[in-house]
Amino acid sequence: MQKNKSKPTDASVPQTVTGLIKIQTSQESIKIGFTDQKISPHAGLSVLAGFFHWHRFKSVLSAHLPIRTSPNATPTADLGLGFMVGILAGAKKLAQVAHLRRDAVLAGLFGIKRFGSQSAYSRFFGGFKNSHQNTACFAPLWQWCLQRLNSRRGGYTLDLDSTTLLHEQAHGKEGVRTGYTPQGFRRCYHPLLAVIAEAKLVAGFWLRPGNTKSANNVVAFTLELLSRLPSYVHFGLVRADAGFCQEDWLQLLEQRRLSYIVVGRIHHPVHRLIKQTTVWKKTSLEGVEVAEEVFQAFGWAQARRLILIRHRQAQRPEAGGRLLLDCPGYRHQVLVTNLGLEVNGLEVWYRYNGRADSENVIKELDASFALPELCLHGFHATEAALTLAVLSYNLSILFQKHLGWAERVTAATLRFRLFTTGGTTSRTGGYRTIRLSVPAGPLRDWWRSLWDKITATFPNCDAVARFPSALPIQT
Strand-pairing partners, residue 413, are none
Q: Tens of pLDDT along 117-162?
A: 999 999 999 999 999 999 999 999 999 999 999 999 999 999 999 9
pTM: 0.90
Given a cut of 60, is residue 5 above it in pLDDT? no
Nearest Cα to Cα of residue 338 among 426, 251, 224: 251
Given a cut of 50, is residue 10 above it in pLDDT? no
Lowest model confidence (mean pLDDT) among 29-43, 336-350, 388-402: 29-43
Q: Domain ranges in the chain?
A: 137-239+355-374, 242-354
- Mean of all residue pLDDT scores within the chain: 88
pLDDT of residue 44: 94
Q: What residues contact 185, with CB distance under 8 A and at least 6 apart?
A: 178, 179
Most confident by average pLDDT, 3-12, 13-22, 308-317: 308-317
Q: Tens of pLDDT along 222-270?
A: 999 999 999 999 999 999 998 999 999 999 999 999 999 999 887 766 7
pLDDT more than 70, % of the chain: 90
Q: Give me the mean pLDDT over the 394-410 stretch.
A: 92
CA distance 129 to 355: 34
CB 224 within 8 A of CB 204: yes
Phi, psi torsion values for 12, nearest 5 degrees: -80, -15
Lowest model confidence (mean pLDDT) among 108-117, 322-331, 363-372, 382-391: 322-331
pLDDT more than 90, % of the chain: 62
CB 265 within 8 A of CB 245: yes
Given a cut of 60, is residue 455 above it in pLDDT? yes
